[in-house]
Amino acid sequence: MRWILALACVFSAIAQTPETEPAPVGDPALGQKRFESQCALCHGQDGSGGRGPNLRRPKLDHAPDDAALRKVISQGIQPEMPGAWQLSPREVSSVAAYVRQIGSAPQEPVAGDAAHGEQVYKSKGCANCHMIAGSGSGYGPELSDIGARRSVAFLRESIVAPEASVPDRFLMIEVVTSSGSTVRGLRANEDTFSIQIKDAKGQYSSFRKSDLKELRKLSGKSPMASYKDSLTQDELTDLTAYLAGLRGKS
Amino acid sequence: MRLACILLATSALSAQVPYERIVNADREPGSWLTYSRNYLGQRFSPLTQITPANVAQLKVKWAYQFDVPNNEVSPIVADGVMYVTGPNRAAALDLKTGRELWRWRRPIPADYQNIGFGRVNRGPAILGDQLFVATLDCYLVALDIRSGQERWSTQVADYKPGYSMTLAPLAYRDKVAVGISGGEAGIRGFVDAYDVKTGRRAWRFYTIPGPGEPGHDSWKTDAWQTGGGSTWVTGAYDADANLLYWGVGNPGPDWNGDPRPGDNLYTCSLVALDGDTGKIRWHFQFTPHDTHDWDAAHVPVLFDAVIRGQKRKVVANANRNAFYYVLDRENGQFIAGQAYSKQTWAKGLDDSGRPQVIPGTEPSDEGTLVWPNLNGATVWFSPSYSPASGLFYVAVRETGATYFKREADYKPGTFFAGGGQRELPPDDVWGAIRALDATSGKLAWEFKLNSPPWSGVLSTAGGLVFSGTTEGNFFALDAKTGKPLWDFQAGGGIGANPISFNIGGQQHVAIAADRVLYVFGL
């Protein structure tokens, strides 16, 4: 899916305008308006992350300084983030000013015992589907830097209600083959004529669509069960604290 | 190695391509001598060897790798040679093997900017012993077809304020016509024709009329000076009437119509121009006062048909705004039209073909959800008309978008767009190849695609329709029913137009897919 987006950008509209003159002064209030209409779909209404990373933090991986931040906003990051090429320089500066404003707000306090949360992670079998720093299984999303990409509230909700926000590239598919057997798994890839599915054991299956009796896209379904009833409140808080502390390599 | 190539080239390249060969394209169906094969813009091949019965046996015969991605070329095939282009580049390929015979490059200036589109080129034109290439930095270049060396190059416009060229030129009689890109940079659009021998400009038609010219009163303010009206897709030519037909792009700023009250002629229109003088004969505006970037950036498709008992010379257009139009090509009169894709901005067309716009569908500060999205229900990639089936085949993009209205301050060489769009999630959008009754636009069949396409369509007298997908499938459908008969995974997204031609008397089909041009045969 990602590269479709990237292609669409290349074919339709890409600005590659270098910054040749001083950037206009940004207005954070205008920036917030633009952010909420054009950035919030991925970064969350308050910038705390969604499909895209949490921006409520002082350091952003792709934007070490304000010029880099403006460039990311206007040109995007290929292939995962489309550029807001249609914004004027003043609007870009304003969005950048707003992003810096929410990034310098006091950090969300993280309650709970992260060390105990790591024990919960191990004892509950999370590693059977998730990978952290090279350990575990890669069926579900990698969590090595999940604390940098998602807010505490988002992480907590993902554990108790995984289907509230199923990440991109984790669409559940169910097909019925010509012989009548049912195959369920995550969509690895799809085009007009074929679909590739990965099951929970990590096995890939590839089907010609014309050979299938049925093809169902289970939008909003997650292979992950809710842990609402299998964790105590303390375990949930500690597990969330552990995940919130995962910041990747840096 | 090189010497061998040159020797080979000498034997293959003895012929010339005079105007008479192009205007009589059906006399040599094994060649592909102009962008759409014939001047009528039909992208139809009269070849019949590849059929629904044997298309499943198609195989790759050779491939050619470009040195840049996202190739959109529609090649020219003449006398044993295929001519391809890319951004500021061209090459001649041996038709039997795909081996390069010569290549030509022109440096892209370091300060060149592509404002609102990719760094691409959609193909060359051929006439006499010259190949014509339009460059990103706005030069029209004539190359010697035997050597690839420059005969002349002419500056069409200054690229610094935002003018550019990505289209295949249209060579006709003793002239070569080009249009320009730049509709997101506040340019004033035009169509130009140049003398093929000298490279001197023969005429220029401004798509935004100046003071005192007819149509100027459709601009109520000075906004006409930065009014857009690009001409970035190759036109069609009626040789009998000596008329060029050319689609005109969106007004600027794209998504903010406030600074430019009025219909904004001739943006989002089709214009018919005298081939000798460039004087306008008639115009038809598809989207008056457009605020969604719905350029009429399409190849006009000319054909003759009996409509309501009358023989008519018509021009058809499946427009970016989601309506299909049939116009009388002698006077621009509206004959028929209807939506061919989901649209939520107009109740329909009135008796003159003008859209009945639904209030509240303009871009807004908080965003307005409208179908189709800014790329339109279809866009630059070519449709196809088959005289054999009477159907008009078009690759359709089924996607809406949330449109925003934003500030727009004109500064030369920068974005002058006044807004933009937020796309729908990838799994909520799709595409189709649709076959329409060419005289009415009524749907005959559709073949659904996994995502909105960027590939053009070719139809053949063998009874096939070829097209491609964004995920790299190149495929053939039954032209009568739309049934899929063959597909090939090309390994890169397809955003180009297919062609068909003969190699040694055998029919082949070619398509560019990202970095690779494939040639298929039985």
B323: nearest Cα among B270, B359, B255:
B270
Taking 50 as the threshold, does the pLDDT of residue A68 lie above it? yes
Taking 70 as the threshold, does the pLDDT of residue A178 lie above it? yes
Taking 90 as the threshold, does the pLDDT of residue B3 lie above it? no
Taking 70 as the threshold, does the pLDDT of residue A250 lie above it? no
Longest alpha-carbon distance in chain A: 66
Do residue A207 and residue A231 come from a single domain? no
The two tokens of residue A133 are: 């720093």
CA angle, residues A59, A61, A66, in degrees to nearest 5: 65
Contacts (Cβ under 8 Å, ≥6 apart) of B32? B45, B75, B76, B77, B78, B499, B500, B501
What per-residue confidence (pLDDT) applies to A21?
Answer: 67
- The per-residue pLDDT for range A112-144, each reduced to its tens digit, is 999 999 999 999 999 999 999 999 998 999 999
Q: Which amino acid is at B484?
A: P
How close, in Å, is residue A74 to chain B by CA atoms? 11
In this complex, the residue of B420, B426, B469 whose CB is nearest that of residue A1 is B426
Pairing mode of beta strands B44-45, B458-460 = parallel
Is residue A108 in a domain? Answer: no
What per-residue confidence (pLDDT) applies to A20?
Answer: 56
Helix, coil or strand: residue B158: coil
Mean per-residue pLDDT for B31-37?
98
CA angle, residues B370, B373, B378, in degrees to nearest 5: 130
Torsion of CA B282, B284, B289, B290, to 10 degrees: -130
Give the gyration radius of chain B's Cα atoms.
21
- The per-residue pLDDT for range B260-283, each reduced to its tens digit, is 999 999 999 999 999 999 999 999
CB B175 within 8 A of CB B193: yes
User: Rounded to whole angstroms, what are the CA distances from B479 to A12, B35, B466, B519?
Assistant: 29, 22, 9, 21
* A14 pLDDT tier (thresholds 50, 70, 90): very low
Please tell me the number of Cα atoms within 13 Å of B195 on its side-chain side: 6
Question: Which of A8-12, B287-291, B400-404, B474-478 is least confident?
Answer: A8-12
Sequential DSSP letters for B334-393? EEEEEE-S---SEEEE-TTS-EEEPTT-S-BSS-EEESS-TT-SS-SS--EEETTTTEEE
Helix (H) / strand (E) containing A168? none
Residue A141 structural domain? 114-160+224-244
Do residue A125 and residue A210 come from a single domain? no
Taking 70 as the threshold, does the pLDDT of residue B254 lie above it? yes
Mean per-residue pLDDT for B58-82?
97
Do residue A228 and residue A213 come from a single domain? no
| Domain residue ranges in chain B | 2-521
How close, in Å, is residue A137 to chain B by CA atoms? 27
The conformation of residue B108, written as its DSSP 8-state character, comes to P
CATH number reported for the structural domain that contains residue A199 in this entry: 2.30.30.100
What is the set of active-site residues of B?
293
This model of the complex carries an ipTM of 0.91
B505/B47 Cα distance (integer angstroms): 10
The conformation of residue B32, written as its DSSP 8-state character, comes to B
A192: nearest Cα among B492, B426, B512, B448:
B448
B396/B209 Cα distance (integer angstroms): 32
Top-ranked range on mean pLDDT: pick from A168-172, B163-167, B416-420: B163-167
CA angle, residues A61, A67, A69, in degrees to nearest 5: 40
Looking at the 3D structure of chain A, how many domains does it have?
3
Q: Which amino acid is at B142?
A: A
B438/B456 Cα distance (integer angstroms): 17
The residue from A78, A103, A128 where one domain ends is A103
Taking 80 as the threshold, does the pLDDT of residue A108 lie above it? no
Do residue A7 and residue A64 come from a single domain? yes
How close, in Å, is residue B520 to chain A by CA atoms? 19
* A61 pLDDT tier (thresholds 50, 70, 90): confident
B459: nearest Cα among B340, B342, B310, B301:
B301
Say whether residue A8 is in contact with chain B using an 8 A CB cutoff: yes
Do residue A46 and residue A123 come from a single domain? no
Taking 80 as the threshold, does the pLDDT of residue B513 lie above it? yes
Question: Which of A81-85, B50-54, B305-309 is least confident?
Answer: A81-85
Assign a CATH topology to domain B2-521.
Answer: Methanol Dehydrogenase; Chain A (2.140.10)
User: Rounded to whole angstroms, what are the CA distances from B367 to B244, B364, B419?
Assistant: 39, 5, 10
Is residue A184 in a domain? Answer: yes
For tokens 């430019």, what's the residue? B260
Do residue A9 and residue A94 come from a single domain? yes
Taking 50 as the threshold, does the pLDDT of residue A4 lie above it? no
Which residue of A lies nearest to B468 if distances are taken between CA atoms?
A192
- Mean pLDDT, chain A, whole residue set: 87
- The per-residue pLDDT for range B93-131, each reduced to its tens digit, is 999 999 999 999 999 999 999 988 999 999 999 999 999
Mean per-residue pLDDT for B407-433?
90
What per-residue confidence (pLDDT) applies to A87?
Answer: 82
Q: Would the CB atoms of A3 and B493 count as touching at under 8 Å?
A: yes
B171: nearest Cα among B346, B55, B25, B358:
B25
* A12 pLDDT tier (thresholds 50, 70, 90): very low
What per-residue confidence (pLDDT) applies to A51?
Answer: 76
What per-residue confidence (pLDDT) applies to B420?
Answer: 87
Question: Which of A122-131, B12-21, B452-461 is least confident?
Answer: B12-21
A15/B294 Cα distance (integer angstroms): 19
Collect all residues of chain B within an 8 Å Cβ-Cβ radius of residue A193: 473, 475, 484, 487
Question: Which of A9-13, B51-55, B482-486 is least confident?
Answer: A9-13
CA B476 to chain CA centroid, nearest Å = 21
Helix, coil or strand: residue A205: strand
User: Rounded to whole angstroms, what are the CA distances from A11 to A4, A66, B69, B111?
Assistant: 10, 28, 11, 21
- The per-residue pLDDT for range B213-240, each reduced to its tens digit, is 999 999 999 999 999 999 999 999 999 9
What per-residue confidence (pLDDT) applies to B154?
Answer: 98
A36: nearest Cα among A82, A88, A75, A94:
A94
CATH number reported for the structural domain that contains residue A22 in this entry: 1.10.760.10
* B287 pLDDT tier (thresholds 50, 70, 90): very high
Which class for B190: exposed (0-12), middle (13-18), buried (19 or more C-beta within 10 A)? buried
B35/B300 Cα distance (integer angstroms): 12
Q: Would the CB atoms of B470 and A4 count as touching at under 8 Å?
A: yes
User: To the nearest whole percent, how much of chain A has pLDDT over 70?
Assistant: 91
What per-residue confidence (pLDDT) applies to A149?
Answer: 84
Collect all residues of chain B within an 8 Å Cβ-Cβ radius of residue A90: 407
Do residue A147 and residue A188 come from a single domain? no
Q: Would the CB atoms of A192 and B487 count as touching at under 8 Å?
A: yes
Q: Would the CB atoms of A12 and B184 count as touching at under 8 Å?
A: no
Helix (H) / strand (E) containing B182? none
The two tokens of residue A178 are: 């010509």
Give the gyration radius of chain A's Cα atoms.
21
Q: Would the CB atoms of B404 and A37 count as touching at under 8 Å?
A: yes
Do residue A155 and residue A132 come from a single domain? yes
How close, in Å, is residue B407 to chain A by CA atoms? 7
**What stretches of B371-505 adopt beta strand conformation (E)?**
384-386, 391-398, 401-405, 419-423, 430-437, 443-449, 458-460, 464-468, 473-478, 484-489, 499-503
Mean per-residue pLDDT for B489-514?
98
Collect all residues of chain A within an 8 Å Cβ-Cβ radius of residue B454: 7-8, 11
Do residue A28 and residue A10 come from a single domain? yes
Mean per-residue pLDDT for A206-218?
97
* B426 pLDDT tier (thresholds 50, 70, 90): confident
Do residue A207 and residue A232 come from a single domain? no
Say whether residue B114 is in contact with chain A using an 8 A CB cutoff: yes
Q: How many residues does chain B have?
A: 522
What per-residue confidence (pLDDT) applies to A1?
Answer: 36
What per-residue confidence (pLDDT) applies to A201?
Answer: 86
Is residue A167 in a domain? Answer: no
CB B345 within 8 A of CB B373: no
Is residue A36 in a domain? Answer: yes
More confident residue, B36 or A166: B36
Mean per-residue pLDDT for B83-96?
98
Is residue A109 in a domain? Answer: no
- The per-residue pLDDT for range B172-194, each reduced to its tens digit, is 999 999 999 999 999 999 999 99
B520/B490 Cα distance (integer angstroms): 11
What per-residue confidence (pLDDT) applies to A5?
Answer: 36
Taking 50 as the threshold, does the pLDDT of residue B26 lie above it? yes
Is residue A166 in a domain? Answer: no
* B9 pLDDT tier (thresholds 50, 70, 90): very low
Do residue A118 and residue A24 come from a single domain? no
Collect all residues of chain A within an 8 Å Cβ-Cβ radius of residue B422: 37-38, 41
* A105 pLDDT tier (thresholds 50, 70, 90): confident
Is residue A181 in a domain? Answer: yes
What per-residue confidence (pLDDT) applies to B11?
Answer: 43
What per-residue confidence (pLDDT) applies to A15?
Answer: 37
Contacts (Cβ under 8 Å, ≥6 apart) of B338? B323, B324, B348, B349, B440, B441, B442
CB B98 within 8 A of CB B512: no
Do residue A148 and residue A235 come from a single domain? yes
Taking 80 as the threshold, does the pLDDT of residue A18 lie above it? no
Collect all residues of chain B within an 8 Å Cβ-Cβ radius of residue A12: 117-118, 374-375
Taking 70 as the threshold, does the pLDDT of residue A97 lie above it? yes
